Amino acid sequence: MLLGAIADDFTGATDLCSMLVRGGMRTVQLIGVPGPNDPVSDADAVVVALKSRTAPMREAVDQSLAALHWLRAGGAKQFFFKYCSTFDSTEKGNIGPVADALIEALGCGFALACPAFPTNARTVYLGHLFVGGVLLNESGMEHHPLTPMTDANLVRVLSRQTEGTVGLVPFSTVEQGAQAIRRGMTGLKEQGRRYAIVDAVTDAHLLAIGEAAEHHALLTGGSGVALGLPANFRRAGLLHEAGDPASLPAVTGHTAVLSGSCSRATLMQLGRARESLPVYELDPLATPDAAALAKGALDWAEGKLGMVPVVIAASAPPDRVAAVQARFGREAAGALIEDAMARIAAGLVAGGVRRMVVAGGETSGAAVARLGVRSLRIGPEIDPGVPWTLAEGSGPSVMMALKSGNFGAPDFFTKAFAMLEG
Ligand code: ADP
């Protein structure tokens, strides 16, 4: 293992994995902190996906340290703490406290912090985070229900979350390339700063930052700043490329789509799927019981399972979601449907499904937990940020594509399976 990463949420972990695979590293995503006796995956990079972004601070720190301990024992040569490219956190954390704990455990005294991801229009200029053309605190993130971001100045934001001090490697230095950035970071470290926010507006900046941090024990940031890391390992002669890093063993079996996302992109994808695939819709108002909802869907699917994917959807437009939420309450409605979808996932696998697309972050989390999945080997990308993966755990191995609601092109569901045939 060359790179050991700790991600503060599930889809963020997958995003980082995809970036590393694109860079030529064979990558595995683990779900939660592995047990002390869990085998170390045969991979160049291992990303431990936590649910620590909004967890109580102590819990987030403890989980992150446990992950670090495991990755260290597994032989990782460098560590990465992955958080959101919009720096999702509160005044108290968890980015600062987790990074502080990792720095202390590694004894490195310093880490860079760079959430920039220009491909997704997240850029950092003079320490200020922009989303598209606007400052973070005017991007809608100021209204986030859990982590409202009301200050775009990351030097200030991170300073409030850490006992250490925070400096800046500004654009003018970053423009000069890796050596200048390295000198900038060394200077800050020598002044006693614990962190450097590093400006980045283009992928070229991210590549230079990655090169400058070649010998850092720990990097922190969005998946963008990992762009330059595979090249470091390659230059050092550590990355031995044997074949396609995204190749997965062939898995045969029935195919299915489970959709619990109500995001606009997913609703469009479902509309497109209806033109060519059999679609079943759950009706939680008529059947407000997870087991009964699941039974209805699985009865419908029986006899239809095969190479043409069946599509089972809870997804609904805003007015229908509002009606369901008005009846059961927002959280109970979500929990009811997630429970039903998880049961359906298990029923489909029991019925021989081995290739499955799941739409929705929470829905994916529920399905993966129910299936006892412990690791995802990252395969080829279907659309940006959504790869096919080989899910392994307590049950049979299943090819899974776990799609965050708003990701993917309109033909995502058919395209995903066509790719496996090709
Ligand atoms: P996304 O990635 O689009 O945010 P998630 O799966 O994370 O999707 O979240 C969607 C949430 O909406 C889940 O909790 C799911 O159970 C819930 N949900 C799905 N269908 C409905 C529906 N018809 N009515 C109410 N809630 C729903």
Helix axes 412-421, 264-274, angle to 10 degrees: 60
Asked whether the beta carbons of 371 and 393 are under 8 A apart, the reply is yes
CA–centroid distance, 211 to ligand 1, in Å, is 40
CA–centroid distance, 309 to ligand 1, in Å, is 21
Q: What is the mean pLDDT of residues 229-254?
A: 92
CA–centroid distance, 405 to ligand 1, in Å, is 9
Could you tell me the residue ranges of all domains in the chain?
3-235, 254-421
- Choices 3.30.390.30, 3.40.800.20, 2.40.50.180, 3.40.980.20: CATH for 254-421: 3.40.980.20
Q: Is the pLDDT of residue 42 over 90?
A: no
**What is residue 326's predicted lDDT score, i.e. its pLDDT?**
95
Residue with CA closest to ligand 1 atom 15:
334
Q: Which of 381, 377, 353 is nearest to 248 (CA)?
A: 377
Specify the ligand 1 atom closest to the Cα of 366: 6
Q: How confident is the model at residue 40 (pLDDT cuts 50, 70, 90)?
A: confident
CA–centroid distance, 294 to ligand 1, in Å, is 16
Ligand 1 pocket by Cβ (under 6 Å): 260-263, 266, 284, 314-316, 320-321, 324-325, 333-334, 337-338, 360-363, 404-405
**What is residue 145's predicted lDDT score, i.e. its pLDDT?**
75
Query: Which of left, alpha, beta for 327 (phi over 0: left; psi -120 to 50: alpha)?
Result: alpha
Residue with CA closest to ligand 1 atom 13:
334
CA–centroid distance, 4 to ligand 1, in Å, is 31
**What is residue 36's predicted lDDT score, i.e. its pLDDT?**
81
Taking only the tens place, the pLDDT of each residue in 380-398 is 999 988 999 999 999 999 9
Residue with CA closest to ligand 1 atom 6:
360
Residue with CA closest to ligand 1 atom 27:
334
> Helix, strand or coil for residue 115?
coil
Average of per-residue pLDDT values in the chain: 95
Specify the ligand 1 atom closest to the Cα of 260: 19
CA–centroid distance, 382 to ligand 1, in Å, is 22
**Amino acid letter, 48:** V
Rounded Cα distance, 6 and 114, in Å: 15
Alpha helices in 216-352 (DSSP H): 229-235, 264-274, 290-301, 318-328, 330-350
Give this prediction's pTM. Answer: 0.90
**What is residue 146's predicted lDDT score, i.e. its pLDDT?**
82
Q: Is the pLDDT of residue 241 over 80?
A: no
Q: Using a CB cutoff of 8 Å and minimum separation of 24, what contacts does 175-184 make? A: 175/205, 177/208, 178/208, 178/209, 178/211, 178/212, 179/212, 181/208, 181/209, 181/212, 182/212, 182/213
Q: What is the mean pLDDT of residues 272-291?
A: 97
Q: Which of 126, 125, 111 is nearest to 189 (CA)?
A: 111
Taking only the tens place, the pLDDT of each residue in 309-345 is 999 999 999 999 999 999 999 889 999 999 999 999 9
Domain covering 3-235, topology: Rossmann fold (3.40.50)
Q: Which helix (H) or strand (E) holds 160?
A: helix 154-161
**What is residue 328's predicted lDDT score, i.e. its pLDDT?**
94
**What is residue 35's predicted lDDT score, i.e. its pLDDT?**
87
Rounded Cα distance, 125 and 115, in Å: 11
**What is residue 130's predicted lDDT score, i.e. its pLDDT?**
97
